Each structure stands twice: as structure tokens, then as C-alpha cells.
Amino acid sequence: MFKRFNKDEPIRAPSLVPDPAAAAAKAAAARAPSGPAKIKRKEKVAPIVDLEAESKEAKRRQKLLDIRMDLHKRLLETLNLSALDKASNDDLKREVLAITREGLREMGVVLNNADQEELTADLMHEVTGLGPLEPLLRDPTINDILVNGSQQIFVERGGKLELTQVKFKDERHLLRVIDKIVSAVGRRVDESQPYVDARLADGSRFNAMVPPCAVDGSLVSIRKFTKDKLSIDELINFGAFNEAMATYLQAAVATRLNIIVSGGTGSGKTTTLNALSGFIDNTERIVTIEDTAELQLQQIHVGRMESRPPNVEGKGEVSQRDLLRNALRMRPDRIIVGETRGNEVIDMLQAMNTGHDGSMTTIHANSARDAVARLENMIAMSGVEMPIKASRSQIASAVNLIVQVSRLQDGSRRMVSITEVTGMEGDIIQMQEIFKFQRRGIDENNKIVGSFVSCGLRSAYTERFEQWGFHLPTEIYAGGDL
Ligand SMILES: Nc1ncnc2c1ncn2[C@@H]1O[C@H](COP(=O)(O)OP(=O)(O)OP(=O)(O)O)[C@@H](O)[C@H]1O
Ligand SMILES: [Mg+2]
């Protein structure tokens, strides 16, 4: 358990207390020959595929799919749809079961119990939920669901993409489910408005793109909402960062540094932002601004805002920038913008510079340098005429810390760098990396081997930390493994 740093009594970060076992392991590792010889790759063995069994299973699934579509049609004809909302789940299930039995009898199909149960469950999902997607939405081990046309559904589990057996009957079936989702939130998706963002009833983030813009059938991406966002402790347990880094981050958040979490798609930016916000004091008023409300702050005083796209007539848009400007009139102590991606950047930086320090946001970039370049680009594209030096100095004085997260090739998500922005020298923004993840190779299970190291530089904010009562142990800056 990450023991929160107590401002008043200096402690040693727990991971810095020498652990004899770890020290012995480290010494053994140091003795082991280094270099490429350490890096083992698993031999790729072609899997033995039972083609006959596979095609039998595929045929069975196809048959079930056909029966299901047929029964689904009957259900819609027979069930009183307007009474659906009021019916209890048990009543509905009884009704669906009766119609299923009757339909199967009329079709002259005999199914075993397991198949019949699967069929009834599928039909219930068709009637009450999102059809074939429903079991995937309920599976807690799945983070993302990615539909590429009706026949191909991928999921992300444990950081890796897998192809599932789940399929839609055809494009029309898929479109019907998309339509159900978007019409529930008062949106429309068709040829004239071929893409849409929405939030599912359970809070999951949903995006769909339909033909003709989606070339081979509709594309759907769902980032599943997790009720229990990963906490600092869980992230430490998963190896996303370690306790020394957590201690530093706690001081950074508590002393109101402006922080940018940078990373690629699905690298864990929102999760990190959420976890960092856990270090904010309960007495502060926080305002959050997002395109799709995903953050779940634990504090009691939080005002959540969500932007809105224009309606079908192209009116009524409320952008993140509008929300940000409005937020400034709401007396926030801190502003958290879910992701900075457009012209709200100017207002964000200004807010950071003018009394709303301690603000945080995420940005889509591959390194701390890249994050700064992205900010510069966003300023340039926002239509504000500003010489490059002026926008750089704006960035340098607004941003204190860039936390880089990354999804590595073994599926693990890690904080790969914590970099401080220390000012300008001439035209160049100065930065110093304090901690990073040092990769060393790959083990026999194709897992990345490495450790978190401090880069040997003392934090430029040490004085500030001290003034606020955070006397961090100096060893964390000493360089080498943490
Ligand atoms: N360190 C971690 N270990 C394990 N799972 C993680 C970790 N960090 C994030 N995740 C999971 O990875 C998924 C993606 O995380 P998150 O939504 O934070 O990414 P993101 O960078 O904000 O994505 P996007 O670019 O789509 O906004 C989530 O389901 C989250 O629970
Ligand atoms: Mg995100």
C-alpha cells in the first residue's frame, strides 16, 4: 500500500529502504552477463489447428446466428414493443423463452439445452441491450471493443488485441445496434452525418463511423467505462510506476504544479490523470472539462462539464473552449481538461498562467518534447497570431511537469518518463528528466524487463516542495535504480 507522504515528518520512500532479498537479486543480475545474450526471444511454434473441429464450430455458430435472426424477427412481430420498458426482466425472459420454443418448433429445429440457453440469452440481449456486444460489455477483463464491419470484432484484454468469435448477422444488424445507441442519446448517424460520439448508459465512450466513410462496413470503437478507476496503489502494483515516483507526484500535485499527462492512444492518460487527481485536497473546488465525461474524481467538490457537438442543423455546439471560458467564471481552484486537442489550448495555458495553477490535462504525444511541439502546433492552428518565441514562453511558464505514459509492446502500460519544464534559454524550452523507465530487454515470456530509474537531477521544484512542507528524501534524485 502506498503510504501517503506526511508533509510534516520527512520519511524515506518505502522502496528506498534496502531490501536484502532485492539487493541480492540485483547483485546477481549485475553479475549475469549483459548485452544481447540476456535477451531471449520465445521460439515461435506454429499452433496445431484442428481444421475440422474449427469448421464444425463455425457452422454451428452460423446456424445459431441464422436461427437467432429468424427468431428475432418473430419476436419483434409478436412482442408488444411499447410494453417492453415496463416489463420486468423475468416476465420478458419468460416471454422470450415461450416465443423461442414456439419458433423452434415451427422451424422444426431441435437444439440441445446449452444452445437453447445461449440463444435465449442472445435474444434477450437483442431485445433489451446491444445484441452481440452485450456479453463483451459485461466482461470485466475487456477494456476496449473494436468492431470492423459486421464480421470482425476485436477486444483488448490485458493490453493486447484479440479477435473474438462474436459476429453480427450482417451490416444491417450492426447498423440497427448503432442506431439504437445513438438514438438513445438524441443523435443521428447516416450518410449525411456518418460519424458520431456518444456515451453508453453505463458510461462507456462510444464512437461509430458508418459507410460510405467507413469503407468495409461500420466501424465502432468502445472504451469501456470502469467504475473503479485504477488507484495509485493499483497502478504501483501493476508496475505503472513505483513508490518513489508516487511520492514525487504527490508533492507535485499538492504544491499545485501544472501537469500535462502525455501519451499515445489508449496508453493510460485518462487513468493517470484520474489517479493523480487523488492527491488534490478535499477543500479545493475542481472543475473538469471533457468531450466525453470519463474522469471520476474522488473529491467532494467537483463540477463536471461535457462539451456538445452541433445538432443536425449545425447549431448548438458547445466546445471545450466555450466550457473553459465559462469555467473561469466559476471560481475554480483547479481546472482539469480531459484532453487538450484544439483551440482551447490558448485558454488552458492562460488559465495555468493566471491563478489556476495546479491545473492538469492530457495530450496526445509520444514524448515530453513532442508534447511541447504539439502545444505549439495547437497554438499556431488556433488562429491566434503569435511569434513562435512568444508561444514557447507561454508554454514554458504555464507547464511545470510532463508525465509521459506509454503502452509497451508487451501490453503493459507504464509511466516512461517524468520531465520538468524549467524555463527558456534563448528560443528553446528547457526541460530536465527526473525519472524514467529504463528498458533492459525481453524475458522468455516476451515481457519487457526494465526498471524505474532516477536520472540524477534534483527537482527544480525542490524549494517549492520544501516551502509547502514536502521534504522529499534526496536519495530519490540520486541517479540509478529506484
Ligand atoms: N497501468 C495500467 N495497467 C493496466 N491497465 C491500465 C493501466 N493504465 C490504464 N489501463 C487501462 O487501459 C485502458 C485505457 O486507459 P485510458 O482510457 O486511461 O487511456 P487513454 O490514453 O486516456 O486513451 P485515449 O487515448 O483513448 O483517451 C483503460 O481500460 C484502463 O483501465
Ligand atoms: Mg483518454
Query: Do residue 293 and residue 411 come from a single domain?
Result: yes
Q: Does ligand 1 lie within 6 Å of residue 152's CB atom? A: no
Q: Does ligand 1 lie within 6 Å of residue 240's CB atom? A: yes
Query: Do residue 117 and residue 221 come from a single domain?
Result: no
> Quick one: pLDDT at residue 347?
92
> Quick one: pLDDT at residue 19?
46
Q: Does ligand 1 lie within 6 Å of residue 407's CB atom? A: no
Ligand 1 pocket, mutate which of 205, 270, 294, 447 (most atoms under 8 A from CB): 270
Q: Domain for residue 420, yes or no?
A: yes
Query: Do residue 250 and residue 138 come from a single domain?
Result: no
Last residue of a domain, one of 97, 128, 159: 128
Q: Domain for residue 137, yes or no?
A: yes
Q: Does ligand 1 lie within 6 Å of residue 271's CB atom? A: yes
Query: Do residue 327 and residue 183 come from a single domain?
Result: no
Q: Domain for residue 24, yes or no?
A: no
Q: What are the b/e assignments for 209-247, b being 16+ CB within 10 Å?
A: bbeeebeebbbbbbbbbeeebbebeebbeebbbbbbbbb
Query: Do residue 424 and residue 278 come from a single domain?
Result: yes
**Parent domain of 136:** 132-226
Q: Domain for residue 407, yes or no?
A: yes
Q: Domain for residue 7, yes or no?
A: no
For residue 269, give the ligand nearest its CA: 1
Query: Do residue 234 and residue 328 come from a single domain?
Result: yes
Query: Do residue 145 and residue 235 come from a single domain?
Result: no
Instruction: Report pLDDT digits (tens) over 33-77.
Output: 443 434 444 444 445 556 777 788 888 877 877 887 788 777 767
pTM over 0.75: yes
Q: Does ligand 1 lie within 6 Å of residue 268's CB atom? A: yes
Report the nearest atom of ligand 1 relative to the CA of 272.
Answer: 18
Query: Do residue 254 and residue 173 come from a single domain?
Result: no
- Measured in Å, residue 370 CA sits from the centre of ligand 1 at 20
Report the nearest atom of ligand 1 relative to the CA of 271.
Answer: 18
> Quick one: pLDDT at residue 227?
78
Query: Do residue 117 and residue 168 come from a single domain?
Result: no
> Quick one: pLDDT at residue 384?
85
Kindly give the confidence (pLDDT) of every residue in the chain, 482 residues in length, as a single tens digit, with 9 standing for 90 and above: 777 777 665 444 444 334 444 445 444 444 444 434 344 444 444 455 567 777 888 888 778 778 877 887 777 677 665 566 567 778 888 888 888 888 888 888 888 888 888 888 888 887 777 888 988 998 989 999 999 999 999 999 988 899 998 888 889 889 988 988 888 877 888 888 899 988 888 889 999 999 999 999 999 999 998 878 889 999 999 999 999 999 999 999 999 999 999 999 999 999 999 999 999 999 999 999 999 888 989 899 999 999 988 877 778 899 999 999 999 999 999 999 999 999 999 999 999 988 788 999 999 999 999 999 999 999 999 888 889 999 999 999 999 999 999 999 999 999 999 999 999 999 999 999 999 999 999 999 899 999 999 999 999 999 999 999 999 999 999 988 88
Query: Do residue 189 and residue 294 come from a single domain?
Result: no
- Measured in Å, residue 240 CA sits from the centre of ligand 1 at 11
Last residue of a domain, one of 94, 128, 162: 128
CATH number for position 222: 3.30.450.370
> Quick one: pLDDT at residue 121?
84
Q: Does ligand 1 lie within 6 Å of residue 338's CB atom? A: no
Query: Do residue 238 and residue 378 come from a single domain?
Result: yes
Report the nearest atom of ligand 1 relative to the CA of 235.
Answer: 1
- Measured in Å, residue 272 CA sits from the centre of ligand 1 at 8
Phi-psi region of 383 (alpha: psi -120 to 50; beta: other; left: phi over 0): left
> Quick one: pLDDT at residue 52?
74
Domain count, the chain: 3
Q: Domain for residue 182, yes or no?
A: yes
Query: Do residue 314 and residue 348 come from a single domain?
Result: yes
Q: Does ligand 1 lie within 6 Å of residue 173's CB atom? A: no
Q: Does ligand 1 lie within 6 Å of residue 292's CB atom? A: no
Last residue of a domain, one of 108, 128, 148: 128
Instruction: Report pLDDT digits (tens) over 239-262.
Output: 999 999 999 999 999 999 999 999
CATH number for position 367: 3.40.50.300
Q: Domain for residue 32, yes or no?
A: no
Q: Domain for residue 290, yes or no?
A: yes
